[in-house]
Structure 1
């Protein structure tokens, strides 16, 4: 996970304290985490006194509820990160003349 994600989420949660409903805050935090490329996570709203197995990333309803983030649980989200990162391995290509090229270039050297 990106190291700047949690402080960014905490800043959003702190700025939104009391200004939004818990569901709005949860949705906003989920979208920021998904935009950072995290595919499997949950964000839930629980009572402030309830034990939390994840990281507390915000509070709502005047501090009576807390927003908890857990990475690596839940269903993969289709909106997380878009396309996978390109591979850095050389590409193996079969050329029209039957030869094989490593690196994807079938042009003959001049």
Structure 2
């Protein structure tokens, strides 16, 4: 609950300052870093036209109100996406065969 309140306060503060912001990408980056600093790992922040229908919560506006910044939680890459997967090693053995896993012994 405390986590959600912290995010709501941060988003409300950013929304007020965001109304007069001109550069949408700078604003989007600031909002993303604020949400990430609150510990949220799976979220998206996107910029859409002000009259466009979009999923999520409006957390700011830019370009003199012609665009809005949308926040949506529990979407996007999770912590497992940050870890690269390791493919098994492919080894060519002396007898010309190929072994997956690096073991040429039979």
Indicate the TM-score class for this superposition, using the shorter chain for normalisation. Answer: 0.5 to 0.7
Aligned-partner Cα distance in 1 for 2:63–2:33:
20
Matched, 1:8 2:3: no
Give 5+ residue unaligned stretches, structure 1: 79-110
Pick the aligned partner of 1:74 from 73, 76, 79: 76
Q: Deviations over 1:28-80 (max 9, x none)?
A: 000010011100000000000000210000000010000000000001269xx
Misfit runs of 4+, over 2 Å: 16-20
Q: Indicate if the aligned counterparts of 2:21 and 2:64 stay in contact, CA closer than 8 A.
A: no
**Which residue in 2 is equivalent to 1:40?**
42
Higher share in helix: 2
Q: Contact 1:13 / 1:57 at 8 angstroms: preserved in 2?
A: yes
TM-score, normalisation: structure 1:
0.64
Q: How far is the alpha carbon of 1:2 from its aligned partner?
A: 2.1
Query: How big is the alpha-carbon RMSD for the aligned residues of Structure 1 and Structure 2?
Result: 1.8
In structure 2, distance between residues paired with 1:62 and 1:77: 35
TM-score (structure 2 length as normaliser): 0.66
Consecutive unaligned residues in structure 2, runs of 5 or more = 81-106
